[in-house]
Chain A
Amino acid sequence: MAWVNDIIQGILIGGLYALFACGLSLMFGVMKVVNLAHGDLAIIGGYIAVGVIAVTHIPVLWSFVIVVPLMALLGYVLQRTVIQASLDRSILTTLLVTFGLSVVIENGLLEFVNADSHSLGVGNAIITSSFSIGSQITIPYLLLLIFAVAVVVLLGLQYFLSVSRYGRLIRAVADDKEAAQLSGIDYRHVFGIAAAIAFGTVALAGIAYGMYSQFSPTTGTDTILLFAFAAVVIGGLGSLWGTLLGGVVLGVAQAVGAQINSSDQLLAGYIVFLAVLVFRPQGLVARGAQS
């Protein structure tokens, strides 16, 4: 029964990983930008939440109301300036620039908020407790909540992309940005909107991580970015539901690895990641709409 419990925990933690991954997947799908600063930006979201909570005393669970719009704004501005400028040169330049951004953010955080770990104590008795099924299975409400948030975010994104006007423009620009220009569409603005949405999900990922665990200035690259990459690759680039599946597979692999030997948790996850890269490089869910 311990196995069943671990697998259930793994599935639920997969929701957190999917939250890490969906912004990365969206930015790659639309702009072809591999954002190496993705994890650090999530951590910035976490620190902004710490600051916002300290100043306004709003409950941790509601901090997203302020943090998500702030991060979305940051996303639009970064896309229209630094990222677009590097895209205009070449795709490879975006790798270098976002890597540089990552280094700057990490060292900036070390400089201004120090290297101590922070977390976002939920302070809600129900959320921090858990419930049991039988005697062996224990499910923390927090993980269930994060999983639900991930599903809602993915459903919302899916709905937005398929029916809204801007969603349609985002898909059109992702297909062929030159043809979009010929239809009068300023693809740079559409890229900005897509980045704003991606950064909004990044903010949620940062807050969720802060509620689940502790974070420090280096958590962005050594945990969030790597897990996000693994989830995206396992699930299949450009597929939102693949992202959730990828997160869940990664979570379960880690849980099973930990059950075998507690030091094998991360290794097991990366072995699955590598296996998918070798045997099914398009990911478990190949994007059907690819033209």
Chain B
Amino acid sequence: MSEPNGRGAPEASRRALLEVRDLTVHHGQLRALDHVSLQVFPGEVYAIIGANGAGKSTLLRTIAGLHQPTEGSIVYDGKDVTRVRPERRATSGVVMVPEGRRLFGSLTVEENLQVGATYARKGPWTIERVYELFGWMRERRNQRTAQLSGGEQQSVAIGRALVANPRMLLLDELSLGLAPVVVQRIYAMLPQILAAGLTVLLVEQDVSQALRVATHLQCLLEGHTTLEGRPSDVTPAQVEAAYFGLSGAAAAGPSGEGSQ
């Protein structure tokens, strides 16, 4: 499963699979992201956390190519992809599971997966393998996805991304609108997915869930980075301060160190 820049190598000698440099994105007049940078190395599970409106989804959508940045650049696998169309990014291995699932509602489960596999890269994932990962799916492959529950739809959305054989999987708010037990079940699948040699960049409002799976953490607040590091290196108080924007002495929590 090890890639040329496999996770066995020491971090310093590896090249980032995805690098975002000083990214600024506007929605009309609003500055949604303000000079955000990040580096994701092969094999990592990189989690972006933050409150509503922090710019997390904008960041992921810009990496997928759905928004054009006003400043900054996105480098994937050593190549600048800032101006590359979303469909070309997907076929080169950057595949996103969008917020709200966004399945093709009039298509069946299997047709959704077939669409995902149409321009797939070569790799371990097939529709058959997705059916093995999600046991219930094979029996219900001829159902329209509009008839599935939220959790089932999320699984199909993940499957649709996997069959494209991504190198860099972008997960946007997997937990949105799902019951906690369903969210846990879906996140429990992550190790099996990672075993196939993927790198994951995920956005999550549910901080405890993100902390559980992440190997690297970055917190956004109003378009700025407020905290970055390995989950083991940051304290809950720091995360809380970065998440809510409590700084220094103004912090109401037991520890007001802040993150600046």
Q: Which residues on the B side are within 8 Å of A222 (C-beta)? A: none
Q: Which residues from 108 to 127 on chain B have a C-beta closer than 8 Å to any C-beta of chain A?
A: 111-112, 114-116, 118-120
Given the complex of chains A and B, what is the CA–CA distance between A107 and B164 in angstroms?
49
A291 and B115 form a contact (CB under 8 A):
no
Partner of B106, one of A181, A187, A290: A290
Q: Is B98 an interface residue (CB 8 A)?
A: yes
0 or 1 for each of A10-49: is its CB under 8 Å from B? (1 = yes) = 0000000000000000000000000000000000000000
Say how far B37's CB is from chain A's closest CB, in angstroms: 24
Q: A179-B98, A183-B90, A184-B118 are in contact. Are A171 and B164 (CB under 8 A)?
A: no
A168 to B164, CA, bound (A): 16
Q: How far is the CA of A49 from the CA of B18 in the complex (A)?
A: 55
CB distance from A113 to the nearest CB of B (A): 41
Which of A171, A179, A185 sits near B118, CB closer than 8 Å? A185
Complex CA distance for A185 and B88, rounded to whole angstroms: 8
Contact yes or no, B106 A183, CB < 8 A? no
Judge whether B115 and A183 touch: CB under 8 Å.
yes
Q: Is the CB of A182 closer than 8 A to any CB of chain B?
A: yes
What residues on B are CB-neighbors of A184 within 8 Å? Answer: 87-88, 90-91, 95, 118-120, 164
Given A184-B91, A185-B87, A291-B146: A179 touches B107 (CB 8 Å cut-off): no
- Give the B interface residue count (CB, 8 A): 31
Task: Write the B151-170 contact mask toward A (1 if CB under 8 angstroms, else 0).
Answer: 00000000011001000000
| Residues of chain A contacted by B144 (CB below 8 angstroms) | 289
In the assembled complex, the CB of B165 is this many whole angstroms from the nearest CB of chain A, namely 10
- Count of A-B contacts judged by CB separation below 8 Å: 85
Return A236 CB to nearest CB of chain B, in Å. 15
| Cα distance, A139 to B110, chains bound together (Å) | 46
- Tell me whether chain A's interface is mostly helix, strand or loop, or mixed: helix
Report whether A169 and B87 are in contact in the complex, using a CB–CB cutoff of 8 Å: no
A175 with B118: CB separation less than 8 A: no
Cβ contact within 8 Å between A171 and B106: yes
Given A291-B105, A291-B106, answer yes or no on A182-B119 (Cβ-Cβ < 8 Å): no
Check B115 against A180 for contact (C-beta < 8 Å): yes
Q: Contacts A178-B66, A291-B146 given: A183-B118 contact, CB under 8 Å? A: yes
With A168-B114, A168-B115, A184-B119 as contacts: A179 and B90 at CB distance below 8 Å: no
Asked if A185 and B119 make an inter-chain contact with CB atoms under 8 angstroms apart, the answer reads: yes
What is the chain A residue whose CB lies nearest that of B108?
Answer: A168
Question: CB distance A171 to B107 under 8 Å?
Answer: yes
- 6 nearest CB pairs, A to B: A291-B105, A289-B106, A184-B119, A184-B90, A179-B102, A184-B91
A sample of 16 inter-chain contacts (CB < 8 A) reads A165-B114, A169-B115, A171-B106, A172-B104, A172-B107, A174-B106, A178-B98, A179-B104, A181-B66, A182-B87, A182-B95, A182-B161, A183-B87, A183-B164, A184-B88, A289-B144
Which A residues fall within an 8 A CB radius of B?
Answer: 165, 168-169, 171-172, 174-176, 178-187, 289-291
